[in-house]
Amino acid sequence: MDRAPVIAYVALGANLGDAQAHIQTAFSALNTLPQTRLLQRSRLYRSAPHEASGPDFINAVACLETGLSAPDLLKALQQLEEAAGRTRPYRNAPRTLDLDLLFYGDARIDSPQLTLPHPRLYERAFVLLPLADVAPQRVPAVRLAAVRAQAITPLD
């Protein structure tokens, strides 16, 4: 059964290997997911690890139109992470690719597998600044002000 397309936002991050290349490859891969197309992408940002370890991260946000359900989209994102060599040896370990589903339309989901909107998105400059590039209406100014002290730099 086909469902009406939904606008979803995905945060991308990487801090192992050629992180910029991993993010660029992920943008292309998102556009190949079933019933999904990449509508918009933020610029790339460099940020210091936040509640994580390792080298600086490269971060971005993608805006997708998808006919996948939220759980199916999450599963597809996890498969892309695995294909990029993502391992999870411990919480917040350095990673070749991290894909976080931020919003799925206006859905509110609270399940063991998925919480939407993403529960920590407003605490992280590395999510809010790229999200503001593609969906400024989703980023209240007060939220941006609250993360102003976090180190993040646009790359382009």
Q: Cβ(49)–Cβ(64) under 8 Å?
A: no
Q: Active site includes 95?
A: yes
- Residue of 18, 46, 56, 86 with catalytic role: 86
Q: Which residues contact 35 (CB under 8 A, 6 or more apart)?
A: 2, 5, 66, 67, 68
143 is catalytic: no
**Two tokens, residue 122:** 């407003």
Q: Which of 2, 3, 72, 100 is catalytic?
A: 100
Indicate which residue of 95, 110, 124, 133 is catalytic. 95
Catalytic (active site) residue 88: no
Give CA–CA dist 107/18, Å, rounded: 34
Q: Which of 41, 46, 98, 124 is catalytic?
A: 98
81 CA to centre of own chain: 11
Q: Answer yes or no: 72 catalytic.
A: no
Residues forming the active site: 86, 95, 98, 100
